[in-house]
């Protein structure tokens, strides 16, 4: 099993919307590196849900429920989407500031490649963020 982080601006698609919808297509990604990450996502992989721009924090855990397929928002076959479903919210949101100030997290993709919308995490990074959020 792999671990991931996806980013969404809360005014466009917030964690609460995912919970209400019970699952969503993660589409509209137009960055090749993020697209390649979508391609690598497998059923059951765990995904941290990050609110970008507003809040700037990890707020919940989801899982991949459908592996990559043609992005329905475009006819261009280069772009992919996956479906994710919520597992549960974190007890406490884990802010970008907290992530940056945690030594074992200071070099994760969220910090190094801040504009990347879909990124891999190691199990150690994933578990550390969970520890901070479930504390």
pLDDT value at residue 77: 96
Give 98: exposed, middle or buried? Use CB within 10 Å, 0-12, 13-18, 19+: middle
State phi, psi for 134 to the nearest 5 degrees. -105, -15
| CATH number of the domain where residue 129 is located | 3.10.590.10
Q: Which residue has the tokens 């990347």?
A: 116
What's 77's DSSP letter?
T
Tens digit of each residue's pLDDT (9 = 90 or more) over 7-62: 999 999 999 999 999 999 999 999 999 999 999 999 999 999 999 999 999 999 99
Average pLDDT of the chain, as a whole number: 97
Range of the domain at 99: 3-134
Question: How many structural domains are present in the chain?
Answer: 1
State phi, psi for 25 to the nearest 5 degrees. -85, 125
């Amino acid at each position: 099993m792999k671990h991931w982080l996806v980013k969404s601006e809360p005014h466009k698609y917030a964690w609460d919307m995912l919970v209400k919808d019970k699952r969503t297509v993660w589409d509209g990604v137009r960055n090749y590196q993020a697209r390649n990450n979508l391609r690598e996502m497998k059923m059951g992989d765990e995904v941290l849900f990050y609110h970008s721009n507003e809040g700037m924090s990890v707020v919940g855990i989801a899982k991949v429920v459908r592996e990559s397929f043609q992005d329905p928002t475009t006819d261009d076959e280069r772009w992919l989407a996956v479906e994710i479903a919520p597992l549960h919210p974190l007890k406490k949101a884990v802010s970008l500031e907290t992530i940056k100030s945690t030594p074992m997290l200071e070099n994760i993709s969220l910090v190094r490649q801040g504009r990347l919308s879909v990124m891999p995490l190691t199990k150690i990074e994933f578990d550390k963020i969970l520890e901070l959020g479930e504390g």
